[in-house]
Amino acid sequence: MSLIVQKFGGTSVGSIERIQRAAARALATQQAGHDVVVIVSAMSGETNRLLKLASDIAPVPDAREMDALAATGEQVSAALMAIAIQAQGGKARSFLGHQLKILTDSAYTKARIKAIDAQRLHEALAGGKIAVVAGFQGVDDAGNITTLGRGGSDTSAVAIAAAVGAECEIYTDVDGVYTTDPNICKTARKIERISYEEMLELASLGAKVLQIRSVEVAMKYGVPVHVRSSFSDVPGTWVVSEEQSLESVTVTGVALDRNEARVMLVGVDDKPGVVAQIFGALAEENISVDMIIQNAPSYGLETRGTSGEVKADVTFTVGKADLPRAKLVMEKISSGVRAMSVRYEEDIVKVSIVGLGMRTHAGVAARMFQLLAAEGINIQAISTSEIKISCLVSTKYAELAVRALHDGFGLGGKA
Amino acid sequence: MSLIVQKFGGTSVGSIERIQRAAARALATQQAGHDVVVIVSAMSGETNRLLKLASDIAPVPDAREMDALAATGEQVSAALMAIAIQAQGGKARSFLGHQLKILTDSAYTKARIKAIDAQRLHEALAGGKIAVVAGFQGVDDAGNITTLGRGGSDTSAVAIAAAVGAECEIYTDVDGVYTTDPNICKTARKIERISYEEMLELASLGAKVLQIRSVEVAMKYGVPVHVRSSFSDVPGTWVVSEEQSLESVTVTGVALDRNEARVMLVGVDDKPGVVAQIFGALAEENISVDMIIQNAPSYGLETRGTSGEVKADVTFTVGKADLPRAKLVMEKISSGVRAMSVRYEEDIVKVSIVGLGMRTHAGVAARMFQLLAAEGINIQAISTSEIKISCLVSTKYAELAVRALHDGFGLGGKA
């Protein structure tokens, strides 16, 4: 007998019928001989309904009250799920954040879990009950209700799985993690096993199946996570530690992000503190920066200013929604860093390849650039990490670039 | 400076606009120099929506889970009210049952408050905040969420007022307690002050302005309660202790209850234990009995059975909805108590007059019977308490009886 945590997302509890289906699955798992802890999200649409009520009253409602408000969505789902399990003949008990003592910091709307008291869960399980836990929510030291941010129920599930030593099933409306977006590339294939590290890169790049923080928690505590569909019994994708990640491919997936805009500061002074000044100013305005590329001046060919000083170009990307605010910041600081000009580009996308294999396989980057060049796609910027290479290309090439990379790296299924 | 508890019912927080209006009232009260605690119900319709979700899953959902479910309604209202007060420039903080430690017993769906820790309220008030408390809910010793039953927010409000030594304003969709139903009697008049005792009799008789238990709590702790409209500034009705209840009228109000059915056991054995047997059997089936009338046999004229034993008639009333189950009980026990027959009557209503004055004024009952007789209304049964006299009459006389008593006892306004 083992202990299994099953998390049902908003679409998986989006109606009475779906709640009943999820309850049946949890019961079947219990009847197969497992102890079962169920984590639920709010019914789909409910969180948005609640947030709209608040935003109809105040443009920026108080974060503490927003959390007290939003947490009701998961509370409703948890009670209904317990009732549904009971109606099917099972034993169940719902638990809220304050009842399980899911202790978080006090960062309302984006709190982080500090500790979970698993005692009450173990008591419920020992009594033959399925424990149903409201996801997304916790309490701080003072008993204030906190929430973990959008998608936070994933993190609740993985953290609880870690606390009780269970594996974690994430039921969602897709049947796993794909090598790329099947809507763009018909040969996209479901990945059977993927490492936490790769999943982190893919999640942050737009394959939004799991909340990033849940993957970080799973990696930290070695919780095996099984992402699968709540509408079928087909196995999904296992997110596991690197050693368990069996597929010995170089590249695991291709991701596309349409949400970035590029900012290029041309000819800023190439001296210590300049880059810090640029990104410090952006951070002050709470603007997240993704890619940062600075070309070190190659002496002899370097750009020089009118007084002969060494110049460099700094390129970075921000979310398209943040671009207007980023422009205001650049207007304020560009003369301070003595930029010769600032260029903005929204008509770009970021395509990335991700894979543990590229750490040990030389030439992956070169192959990526060749594949794009063969299609006549110009690369506007490049940034790399140990297991990821990202290129900015013109928006019109988005799908073409994804397909070229996906099939070029042999990710396609036999379809 | 005084401390005022303001309770806003479901219709008073039934929309964003109404929440904003209630928030403005609380703020105005604070700006007039008072400390303010606001108690909120769920937005009108919300509790029914939640209960329907549960009943769609199970015909009789688990009571613990029902309470966890239903309590979200008040949690939403409390957060939105705090946000609305803040949006109007005030300081506010919401409190849930578990945060205020509104400690109850574990009788889910009808819990009773055992204690309230006012410390956190006083801290919030000392910080210049309006404390917004989710009504209707508490926690038991084990931290399970409990609710106080329909209308329980009234009880929350009065109990909190008692705990902090405040007076209590109940904002609702009527502007006070009337001498009788204005829909029946055009001369009905709003009562300025009424005693707890009279309010208890009126509330239980159908003037459903305040939850009965809230009046009991107010009486026990001497909390002055002001029932008034959330849609106007006109003073409502004060519910106060007997000494403060200034109106020196004999009869305070006339109530009508259309919901009762009469059961008459004719010729049961007049010996010890028979009545206990009848009502014990009803209690076992959880059937509430309202009026009970037994005519003691007047020796010489008593009814006698075929063997010459003394017989008596027992009449009682039950809710119309309980009549079918009451009939089944009677079928089981009528031969045991040797009833000669059982008669049922649904075509009746109960009219009652209520007033502290009747304790000291002789002849009130006689006057009531005269007033009814003058209209040709036959009285089918009578029961009396210290401050109430109730008569069962035929349904067709309902409105006529109410008007005759209301005007006959001089309750009419000058309209």
Whether domain A265-343 has CATH 3.40.50.720: no
Spatial CA neighbour of B194 closest among B208, B215, B174: B215
Mean pLDDT of A228-256: 85
Using DSSP, state whether A399 is helix, strand or coil: helix
Q: Is A93's CB within 8 Å of B66's CB?
A: no
Q: CB–CB of A54 and B83 under 8 A?
A: yes
- Closest partner residue to B57 (CB to CB) among A53, A83, A98 is A83
Q: Would the pLDDT of B336 be above 90? A: no
Q: Beta strands of B258-387 (E only): which ranges?
A: 260-269, 289-294, 303-304, 310-319, 341-345, 348-354, 379-385
pTM: 0.82
Q: Tokens 């013109």 map to which residue? A: A394
Residues of B in contact with A146 (CB under 8 A): none
- The pLDDT, as a whole number, for residue A87 is 97
Say yes or no for a CB contact (<8 Å) between A79 and B68: yes
| Of A14 and A311, the one with more pLDDT | A14
- Closest chain A CA to residue B82: A65
CA gap A97, A80 in Å, rounded: 16
Q: Which tens digit of pLDDT belongs to each residue from A40-57?
A: 999 999 999 999 999 999
**Residue B298 banded pLDDT, cuts 50, 70, 90:** very low
Q: Work out the angle between the directed axes of helices A212-221 and A152-164 (0-180°, nearest 10).
A: 10
Put simply, whether B98 touches A (Cβ < 8 Å) is yes
The superfamily (CATH) of domain B3-173+192-246 is Acetylglutamate kinase-like (3.40.1160.10)
Chain-centroid distance of CA B190 in Å reads 18
Task: Give me the amino acid identity at B321.
Answer: A
Q: Is the pLDDT of residue A213 over 50?
A: yes
Between A387 and A85, name the one with better pLDDT.
A85
Decide which of A290 and B78 is more confident.
B78
Best residue in B53, B81, B102, B108 for a mutation probing chain A (most A CBs within 10 Å): B53
What six digits make up the tokens of A43?
A: 């019914």
Question: pLDDT tens for residues B342-378?
Answer: 999 999 999 999 998 887 777 888 889 999 999 999 9
- pLDDT value for A209: 80
Within chain A, all domains assigned CATH 3.30.70.260 are found at: 265-343
Q: Are strands A130-134 and A35-40 parallel, antiparallel or unpaired?
A: parallel
pLDDT-based confidence at A1, cuts 50/70/90? Answer: low
Please, which residues have CB within 8 angstroms of residue B63's CB and are 6 or more apart in sequence? B108, B109
DSSP H helical segments within A149-288, as ranges? 152-164, 196-204, 212-221, 274-284
**pLDDT, tens digit, 9 for 90 and up, residues A342-371:** 999 999 999 999 998 887 777 888 889 999
The radius of gyration of chain B's CA atoms, rounded to the nearest angstrom, is 24
DSSP state of A243: G
pLDDT computed for residue B273 by the predictor: 82
Rounded to a whole number of angstroms, the distance from the CA of B3 to the nearest CA of chain A is 23
Cβ proximity of A198 and A215 under 8 Å = no
Determine, for residues A57 and B87 on separate chains, whether the beta-carbon distance falls below 8 Å. yes
Q: Name the segment(s) of chain A with CATH classification 3.40.1160.10.
A: 3-173+192-245
Residues 195-234 of chain A with CB under 8 A from chain B are none
Mutate to test the interface with B, among A83, A100, A119 (most CBs of B within 10 A): A83
Strand blocks (E) in A155-302? 167-172, 193-195, 225-229, 237-240, 253-257, 260-269, 289-294
**B151 confidence band (pLDDT: 50, 70, 90):** confident
Q: Between A336 and B46, where is the model more confident?
A: B46
Q: How confident is the model at residue B1 (pLDDT cuts 50, 70, 90)?
A: low
Which H or E run contains B400? helix B398-408
Q: Which residues of A touch B50 (CB under 8 A)?
A: 76
Model confidence band, residue A415 (pLDDT cutoffs 50, 70, 90): very low
Phi, then psi, of B413 in degrees rounded to 5? -80, -170
H-helix or E-strand spanning residue A26: helix A16-31
Give the pairing type, strands B379-385 and B388-394: antiparallel
The answer to whether B78 contacts chain A (CB < 8 Å) is yes
Domain with CATH 3.40.1160.10 in chain B: 3-173+192-246
Enumerate the CATH 3.30.2130.10 domain ranges in chain B, comma separated: 247-415
CATH architecture group of domain A3-173+192-245: 3-Layer(aba) Sandwich (3.40)
Question: And the tokens for A317?
Answer: 């990307």
Question: Any idea of the CA torsion for A205, A211, A216, A220, to the nearest 10 degrees?
Answer: -150
A40 DSSP β-pair partners: A8, A134
- The burial class, CB within 10 Å (0-12 / 13-18 / 19+), for A301 is exposed
Does the pLDDT value for residue B19 go beyond 60?
A: yes
Match domain B247-415 to its CATH number in 3.10.180.10, 3.30.43.10, 3.40.120.10, 3.30.2130.10: 3.30.2130.10
Range of lowest pLDDT (A392-406, B64-78, B301-315): B301-315
State the pLDDT at residue A298. Answer: 47
Cβ-Cβ contacts under 8 Å, A64 against chain B: 93-94
How far is it, in rounded angstroms, from Cα B67 to Cα B107?
A: 10
